[in-house]
Structure 1
Amino acid sequence: MPRIHNLGFPRIGARRELKRALEGYWAGRLDADELQRRGAELRRRHWRQQAAAGVDPVPVGDFSWYDHVLDVTAMLGVIPERFAGNPLDLDTRFHMARGRAAGRPDVAPCPMTKWFDTNYHYIVPELEAASRFRADPAPLVAELAEARAEGHTPKPVLVGPLTWLRLARPIDGSDPLAHADALAEAYARLLQGLGEAGADWVQLDEPALATDLPQDWWAAAERIYDALRTGPVRVLLAVYFGDAGPWQPRLESLPVAGLHLDGVRATETLATALERWDGERVLSAGVIDGRNVWRSDLDALAGRLGPAARRLGDALWLAPSCPLLHVPVDLEGETRLPEGLRPRLAFAVQKLDELGELARRLDAAELPASAGGATATTRAEDVVFPPERLRRRRPYPERAPRQREHLRLPRVPTTTIGSLPQTAEIRRTRRDWRAGRLDDAAYETRMREEIGQAIAEQEALGLDVLVHGEAERNDMVEYFGERLEGIATTAGGWVQSYGSRCVKPPIVHGAISRPGPITVPWFRHAQSLTERPVKGMLTGPVTILQWSFVRTDQPRAETARQLAEALRAEVAELEAAGARIIQIDEPALREGLPLRAAERPDYLRWAVDAFRLASAGVDDSTQIHTHMCYSEFGDILDAITELDADVITIEAARSRMALLDAFAEHGYPNEIGPGIYDIHSPRVPEQQEMLALLEAAARVFPLERLWANPDCGLKTRSWAEIRPALANLVAAARTLRARHED
């Protein structure tokens, strides 16, 4: 029977046990020993679940207290000067990720951005010319011992050296490739330590090899892996999220003992490799989709893999296409799904069961004569977005004066991104309502009270444009998924986004439509409480698409079009209800960008069209906002401009306004709100810190086109944190206005 293995298991726990442990530790309710005990129990449970499905070896190192990229950064000893302490100390890593840790001074955390084209956020390594590596595999060695003590054969998993280097950010403008040889030596020491601890195989994850890597980076990859070839362990090089494109022959010739290929996103590449593989090295076939929740067509897979399985024997391993970090843990216990949907789904545990069943079929030569799966029957380019519905009546330069007259805002208006703290009381009220302990009328009364408090707090702080706070929303995507036809939501389908933050992606399983108003009544109530403008708040079509598990039997462009039509109807009703500003968030626009440049124009065409279809039906005096965060925007600035939003707010605080330079150099023509308050850290920035960021922004954008706002929504923060932070933000904006009075 072919060997089955796993590239990585969801670390957060089926019931978000890691989240609760982390937040208990950060709040001082758990001590370090109890935190470690809970982490160890999670690891043991996950190894047992994988072993029960036949996974051998089991991965170690896929568990992380915050982020797996940060873990490798710590093992390499690459710690910026502002963070004191031992790199492997847990509080040092929390300090780097959050800017705050027990007994440490509050400082700016390391940057955070998206892991390739997923909604997972990693902590960006900071490099400079003087950086030195001090490799220490101690955390992985400890987990090796844990797994062995439980009776498992462990396989350490690490972010590969080329991917780590590719993701690193030189803070002094130096060339990251200058570190390639020293990094290879550091990884060699890590592998040496793992080998001495008894590891046989080590998995090095290299999704960067599935991107458009320049020639000099491929040369560095070959140099690095040549330096690792004589180590004491066998290296399984894992490439996922695509293939190596024109460099595929060079990838397959790298001196490693095994190669993992993504057979979901690079089906033909895997098929070709299966035909020509000589069996002297392991070929890991990633044939179970690690990024979506649909069951696999095992008949089709058995038919595709059968000839290679007979020829290669134990040189063929079976695996998910990528680590299972991006899917929920277990389908068991899901009771909210529409009839007939559950049998079509597979979460992480079920995907491993599928691997086991596939291996058994191949071993028994149960090979169908033919097979096929549910794939799109039309192409993205065939999806029609009517051009006449994609344009505002007038261009921005003509709309802007009308909006200024309509809104009468000061220069550099202050606002927030949308959500306000989701307090324990709000969450308790929502649980009671869902459980039937609170009827609809009582629930609505409580939510209206929360909205009233949110409006009063913002008025007291002096914000210019208010939000209703989204107390009624569990999540910016799930909330809409619950109210649109053709989309299902789960009871416990949690997926990690970053650190302790988890989301439950909806499941798009049918045609999408809007049965009725979604946000309008809440907006109407909020606006009735204040003379200041309240933003209507919507999640954009591309973000709902990207942050959902999407059907595969039609192009993603068609799903985006259906979402845009539904949102356009909501926008029209918000405007009719008196909304003078409507924000349509698209933080996932950059995330959805294909890894290959050749595939990007088609995606950007329909993604922009979807946003414009949702937003373009309003009057010129109605101001359309959008929000984007935690992504590298430099390569999609043309598309961002084509969205034709009147105002865009972006994450900029962690990068110290670095993103703003790209917008300025591009000549972004509309209004912009660069974030000056990093909400993913518990620290409260001082007024002077925010003012310095605003002054930097004012040097590249005129005050008439500048807004002041946080980086992102505030639902994960407490009122005790955001009151002083927002007060400092408002004071900074007022100071800037005073300094620049005509």
Structure 2
Amino acid sequence: MSTREQFRPPEHEHDHFLLTTVVGSYPKPTWLNRARDLHEEGESEQFDESDWEEATDDASRLITHEHEHAGLDVVCDGEMRREEMVEFFAERIDGYEFNGPVKVWGHNYFDKPSVADEVAYDDPWLVDEYEFTADVAERPVKVPITGPYTLASWSFNEAYDTEADLAYDLADLVNEEIEKLVEAGARYIQIDEPALATTPDDHAIVGECLDRIVADLPDDVRIGLHVCYGDYSRIYPEINDYPIDEFDVELANGDYEQIDVFTDPTFEPDLALGVTDAHVAEVESVAEIKENILEGLKVVPPEKLTVSPDCGLKLLPREIAYGKMENMVQAAREIEAELDAGEIDLDELAQY
């Protein structure tokens, strides 16, 4: 059985099935940001650790249910307990340390960590997050996790001879974490590697990392790879050799100018296609999103297509993020109905 088919909802009304999900991050409720400020200020009499835990639990519950209300087949909690995709994990990995923020663009700063010693695995990173979300969710839960190549590339390396050596050790730690997630019941893991798009010549290093990550995982665990914003011709067709079930790609932001990259040679993994633009604070119409979904059907058949936003939605107004998800789900269901009715010629699409 395809690792994808297990996420088809019971009694799905269409013969065809387009898997709908999100990439990961989602706008935080305003009150959670205020709660974070209180927590970081350390005013224990006003807002202690138990208050912060209650706040993050409430936010996780709220956003998980919001994803389900939008109709998504696979949900997450919108990374309510996370703030930045590298810092979150660096804080939990032995060998990392922080020395202050680094300016990255404009007036934006990133607390770029340093690897000061050999990295090592201690306590689980995401198991509690997954177990809480899975307990409150009625639908399957996906776990996004920052990949080892990005964790290495977006850190100062002060302990390893090469960045590749650091990435390989981090990949072993990611494998250890995923094994614990799988023991807890997780069956859909997304590896986020945005750094691959910025240094695509290192696709061989990412491939070796992925080999280490998936070592000894059960066959029913779905592994996705999310890469955003780059020249995909520089990593294709090499990604066909990656040990992944799904490749998640951002293309809506570029009006699908690179969709042809994935048509020759044949695209091997499932395709998770961004069909709403995470950088535009407007809700695309159902009709527009349907046209975007058809772009994905030029590359893979319906049984290999997942639809999602281009990237995480955390920088958008929450009502905009929700509208994008709701319209995306509606568009997917309408495309499924049109496929069932024979109104879409897949052979003709494949010729474009």
TM-score (norm 2): 0.89
The DSSP-based 3-state class of the residue aligned with 2:281 is coil
How far residue 620 of structure 1 moved from its aligned partner, in angstroms, is: 0.6
For 2:115, what is the secondary structure of its paired residue? strand
In the alignment, the residues of structure 2 paired with residue 404 and residue 713 of structure 1 have an alpha-carbon distance, to the nearest angstrom, of 21
Q: Select the residue among 680, 683, 701 that pairs with 2:282.
A: 683
* 8 Å contact from structure 2 (residues 251, 274) kept in 1: yes
- Shift in Å, 1:405: 5.0
Tell me the SS of whatever aligns to 1:619: coil
RMSD value, Cα: 1.9
Rounded Cα–Cα distance in structure 2 between residues aligned with 1:413 and 1:639:
25
Matches within 5 A, 1:21-36: none
- Spell out, residue by residue over 1:451-491, the C-alpha distance to the aligned partner (whole angstroms, 9 max, x if none): 10011111111011101211111101110011111112344
CA shift, 1:692, in A, is 0.7
CA contact (8 A) 2:114 2:157 kept: yes
* Residue of structure 1 equivalent to 2:348: none
One of 234, 252, 257 as aligned partner of 1:653:
252
Q: Which residue of 528, 535, 554 corresponds with 2:135? A: 528
Are the structure 2 counterparts of residues 404 and 604 from structure 1 closer, same or farther at C-alpha, using a change threshold of 3 Å? closer
Instruction: Classify 1:565/1:553 alpha carbon distance in 2 versus 1 (closer, same or farther; 3 Å).
Output: closer
The equivalent of 1:612 in structure 2 is: 211
Q: How far apart in 2 are the matches of 1:683 and 1:501?
A: 24
Quote the Cα distance in structure 2 between the aligned partners of 1:718 and 1:674: 22
Residue aligning to 1:632: 231
- Given residue 479 of structure 1, which amino acid in structure 2 is its aligned partner? F
8 Å CA contact retained: 1:657, 1:674: no
Q: Is structure 2 residue 256 aligned with structure 1 residue 662?
A: no
Change in CA separation of 1:425 and 1:491 when aligned onto 2, cut-off 3 Å:
farther
Q: 1:413 pairs with 7, 19, 27, which one?
A: 19
| Alignment partners' CA distance in 2, 1:426 and 1:612 | 38
Taking a change above 3 Å as real, the CA distance of residues 637 and 683 of structure 1, as seen in their structure-2 partners, is same
Displacement, 1:560?
0.4
Matched with 1:558 is 165
C-alpha displacement of 1:731: 0.9
User: C-alpha separation between the residues in 1 aligned to 2:119 and 2:146?
Assistant: 15
How far does the alpha carbon of each residue in 1:698-731 deviate from its partner, in whole angstroms, 9 at most, with x for none? 1332001111100000111121211211111111
The 2-side partners of 1:642 and 1:514 are apart by: 28
Measure, in 2, the Cα distance between the counterparts of 1:431 and 1:688: 41
Give the letter for the 1:424 counterpart: T
Aligned residue for 1:479? 88
- CA distance change for structure 1 residues 493 and 420 in 2, over 3 Å: closer, same or farther? same
User: Cα deviations across residues 321-347 of structure 1 (Å, max 9, x unaligned)?
Assistant: xxxxxxxxxxxxxxxxxxxxxxxxxxx
C-alpha contact (below 8 Å) 1:416/1:467 kept by paired residues: yes
Provide closer, same or farther for how the CA distance between residues 723 and 501 of structure 1 changes in structure 2, counting only shifts above 3 A.
Answer: farther
Amino acid at match of 2:222: Q
Please report how far the alpha carbon of residue 500 of structure 1 lies from its aligned counterpart in structure 2 after TM superposition: 6.7
2:327 alignment partner in structure 1? 728
Partner of 1:261: none
Q: Give, in angstroms, the shift of residue 689 of structure 1.
A: 1.1
Note if contact 2:60-2:77 (Cα within 8 Å) is conserved in structure 1. Answer: yes
- Contact 1:671-1:707 within 8 A present in 2 as well: yes
Residue by residue over 1:492-514, the C-alpha shift from the partner in whole angstroms, topping out at 9 and shown as x without a partner, is: 33422xx7765332222211112
Q: Secondary structure at the match of 1:479?
A: helix
Contact preservation (8 Å) 1:494, 1:505: no
Given that 1:407 and 1:580 are in contact with CA atoms closer than 8 Å, whether structure 2 keeps it comes out as no
Compared CA separation, residues 501 and 683, structure 1 to 2 (3 A): farther
Work out whether residues 542 and 611 of structure 1, in 8 Å CA contact, stay in contact via their aligned partners in 2.
Answer: no
The structure with more radius of gyration: 1
Per-residue deviation, 1:623: 0.6
Identity value in percent: 30
Q: Match for 2:52 among 423, 443, 446?
A: 443
Alignment of 1:185-200 (within 5 A): none
Matched, 1:508 2:107: no
Q: Structure 1: 5+ residue runs without aligned partners?
A: 1-400, 594-599
Q: In the alignment, residue 97 of structure 2 is paired with which amino acid?
A: A
Report if the CA contact (8 A) 1:623-1:646 is conserved. yes
Secondary structure of 1:648's match?
strand
What is the distance in 1 between the residues matched to 2:61 and 2:267? 36
Moved over 4 A (4+): 499-502
Distance 1:675 1:404, change over 3 A: closer
Specify whether residues 615 and 425 from structure 1 end up closer, same or farther in structure 2 by C-alpha distance, changes over 3 A only.
Answer: farther
Contact 1:485/1:513 (<8 A) preserved: yes
The count of aligned residue pairs is 332
Higher RCO by CA contacts (8 Å cutoff, separation 6 or greater):
2
Is the counterpart of residue 403 in structure 1 residue 3 in structure 2? yes
Contact 2:101-2:109 at 8 Å conserved across structures: no
Residues 404 and 651 of structure 1, relative CA distance in 2, 3 Å threshold:
closer
Task: Give the letter aligned to residue 33 of structure 2.
Answer: R
| Equivalent in 308, 311, 317 of residue 712 of structure 1 | 311
Structure 2 unmatched runs, 5+: 342-352
Note if contact 1:677-1:710 (Cα within 8 Å) is conserved in structure 2: yes
- The one-letter amino acid paired with 1:516 is D
Secondary structure of the corresponding residue to residue 644 of structure 1: coil
Query: Taking structure 1 as reference, are residues 684 and 436 closer, same or farther at Cα in structure 2, changes over 3 Å only?
Result: same
| Deviation for aligned residue 1:552 | 6.7
* Structure 1 residue 703 corresponds to structure 2 residue 297: no
1:91-130 equivalence runs, <5 A: none
Matching residue's letter, 2:50: A
Which moved further from structure 2: 426-435 or 572-581? 426-435
Per-residue CA deviations over 1:386-428 (Å, capped at 9, x if unaligned) read xxxxxxxxxxxxxxx2424533356111111001103432222
Whole-angstrom distance in 2 between the partners of 1:638 and 1:488:
37
Q: Partner letter of residue 439 of structure 1?
A: D
Q: Which residue of 1 aligns with 2:35?
A: 429
Give the Cα separation in 1 of the matches to 2:107 and 2:28: 15
Counterparts in 2 of 1:576 and 1:632: CA distance versus 1, 3 Å = same
Query: How far off its partner does 1:551 sit?
Result: 2.4
Residue 432 of structure 1: how far off its partner (Å)? 2.1
- If the length of structure 1 is used for normalisation, what is the TM-score? 0.43
Please give the alpha-carbon distance, in whole angstroms, between the structure 1 residues aligned to 2:328 and 2:4.
Answer: 22
Q: Secondary structure at the match of 1:672?
A: strand
Alpha-carbon contact 1:691-1:733 (below 8 Å) kept: yes
The equivalent of 1:568 in structure 2 is 175
Render the CA deviation track for 1:556-593: whole Å, top value 9, x for unaligned. 11100111111111100111111111111112113223
Indicate which of 523, 528, 543 corresponds to 2:150: 543
- Deviation per CA, 1:184-213: give whole Å up to 9, x if none: xxxxxxxxxxxxxxxxxxxxxxxxxxxxxx
Look up the SS of the partner of 1:427 in the other structure: helix
Match for 2:6: what amino acid? H
